[in-house]
Structure 1
Amino acid sequence: MRVLFDAFWWHRGPIANRTVMREIIFGWSRRFPEDEIVLAVRARHRNLQDVPPDARIVFTRLSPQALSNVVELPLQARRNRVDLVVSHNYTSPFTRNAVFIHDLLFEESPHWFTRKERVYFWPMSRLATYASTVFTSSRTEAARIERLHPRLSPVRATSLAISPALAAATPRTPAMMPTGWEGYWLCVGRLNRRKNLDTALRGAVASGLLSPTHPMIIVGSAEYSGANTELPENIRALVDAGHVIFAGRVSDEELRWLYSNANCLIFMSRDEGYGLPPAEARFFGTPAIVSDIPVMRELVPDAHAFVDPDSPTALATALASMPQRRAAGPVDGLQDAESAWEDIASRIRSASIAPRE
Structure 2
Amino acid sequence: MSNIIIIDRTNEYSPAGVHARGTRILHHMKKRIGFDLSILNRTDTGTTVYARKLFQSLQELEQEELEFIPLYAPKKLASKNPFIRPINFLLELSWLFLLLPVRARALHLDLIHLPANTISPVLRKIPQVCTIHDAHFMINPEGRDPVWRFYARRIFRYSAKHAGRIICGSNSARKEAIELLGADPDNIEVVYHGLVLRESAQADREQAAGLKPFILSVGATLPNKNFEALVKAYAKLYREGRTGGHRLILAGPPARGHQSLLETIASEQMEDHVSILGLVSDSLLAALYENASIFAFPSLCEGFGFPPLEAMHYGIPVAASYAPSIPEILGDAPVYFNPRDISEMAENIGMIISDHRLRDKLKQAGLARVKMFSWKESARKTMSIYRCLLGHHSA
TM-score range, shorter chain: 0.7 to 0.9
Q: Which runs of 4+ in 1 moved over 6 A?
A: 324-327
Measure, in 2, the Cα distance between the counterparts of 1:348 and 1:251. Answer: 29
Q: Is 1:25 aligned to residue 55 of structure 2?
A: yes
Q: Is 1:118 aligned to residue 145 of structure 2?
A: no
Among 16, 29, 33, the residue aligned to 1:3 = 33
How far did residue 308 of structure 1 move?
Answer: 0.8
Give the partner amino acid of 1:74.
P
* Inter-CA distance 150–124: structure 2 relative to 1 (3 Å threshold): closer
Name 1:318's counterpart in structure 2.
348
Give the match's secondary structure for 2:40: coil
Measure, in 1, the Cα distance between the counterparts of 2:67 and 2:51. Answer: 17
Give the match's secondary structure for 1:37: strand
Name 1:85's counterpart in structure 2.
112
Measure, in 2, the Cα distance between the counterparts of 1:78 and 1:183. Answer: 55
Among 232, 243, 266, the residue aligned to 1:234 = 266
* Inter-CA distance 163–117: structure 2 relative to 1 (3 Å threshold): farther
* Inter-CA distance 33–300: structure 2 relative to 1 (3 Å threshold): same
**How far does the alpha carbon of each residue in 1:301-356 deviate from its partner, in whole angstroms, 9 at most, with x for none?**
233311111111111111221146879x9xxx9xx99x922221222221233157
Name 2:283's counterpart in structure 1.
253
CA contact (8 A) 2:40 2:48 kept: yes
Among 320, 343, 346, the residue aligned to 2:377 = 343
Percent identical among aligned pairs is: 21
Give the match's secondary structure for 2:224: helix
Measure, in 2, the Cα distance between the counterparts of 1:149 and 1:82. Answer: 27
Give the partner amino acid of 1:250.
V
CA contact (8 A) 2:220 2:253 kept: yes
Q: Is 1:158 aligned to residue 188 of structure 2?
A: no
Among 259, 264, 270, the residue aligned to 2:294 = 264
Name 1:279's counterpart in structure 2.
309
Give the match's secondary structure for 2:380: helix
CA contact (8 A) 1:176 1:247 kept: no
Name 2:102's counterpart in structure 1.
75
How far did residue 113 of structure 1 move?
Answer: 2.8
**How far does the alpha carbon of each residue in 1:62-81 deviate from its partner, in whole angstroms, 9 at most, with x for none?**
95435413322222222111
Among 113, 118, 129, the residue aligned to 2:161 = 129
Which protein, 1 or 2, shows the higher relative CO under an 8 Å CA cutoff with sep ≥ 6?
1
How far did residue 153 of structure 1 move?
Answer: 2.3
* Inter-CA distance 193–238: structure 2 relative to 1 (3 Å threshold): same
* Inter-CA distance 74–256: structure 2 relative to 1 (3 Å threshold): same
How far did residue 116 of structure 1 move?
Answer: 4.1
> TM (normalized to structure 2)?
0.74
* Inter-CA distance 150–6: structure 2 relative to 1 (3 Å threshold): same
Bigger Cα displacement from structure 2, 27-36 vs 96-105: 27-36
Name 2:133's counterpart in structure 1.
102
Measure, in 1, the Cα distance between the counterparts of 2:159 and 2:258. Answer: 25
Name 2:92's counterpart in structure 1.
65
Give the match's secondary structure for 1:65: helix
* Inter-CA distance 177–319: structure 2 relative to 1 (3 Å threshold): same
Measure, in 1, the Cα distance between the counterparts of 2:173 and 2:202. Answer: 32
Give the match's secondary structure for 1:281: helix
Gaps spanning 5+ residues in structure 2: where?
A: 1-30, 77-87
CA contact (8 A) 2:243 2:350 kept: no
How far did residue 212 of structure 1 move?
Answer: 10
Measure, in 1, the Cα distance between the counterparts of 2:287 and 2:59. Answer: 30
Q: Is 1:41 aligned to residue 72 of structure 2?
A: yes
Name 1:194's counterpart in structure 2.
224
**How far does the alpha carbon of each residue in 1:279-318 deviate from its partner, in whole angstroms, 9 at most, with x for none?**
2112222111111223111011233311111111111111
Who wins on radius of gyration, i.e. which is larger? 2
Give the partner amino acid of 2:374.
A
Measure, in 2, the Cα distance between the counterparts of 1:40 and 1:272. Answer: 27
CA contact (8 A) 1:2 1:83 kept: yes
Give the match's secondary structure for 1:70: helix
> TM (normalized to structure 1)?
0.81
Bigger Cα displacement from structure 2, 339-348 vs 91-100: 339-348
Give the partner amino acid of 1:199.
A
Give the match's secondary structure for 1:109: coil
* Higher share in helix: 2
Bigger Cα displacement from structure 2, 208-217 vs 295-304: 208-217
Bigger Cα displacement from structure 2, 244-253 vs 103-112: 103-112
Measure, in 2, the Cα distance between the counterparts of 1:100 and 1:233. Answer: 36
Compute the RMSD of aligned alpha carbons.
3.2
Measure, in 2, the Cα distance between the counterparts of 1:233 and 1:345. Answer: 41
Measure, in 1, the Cα distance between the counterparts of 2:159 and 2:177. Answer: 13
CA contact (8 A) 1:171 1:254 kept: no
Give the partner amino acid of 1:89.
N
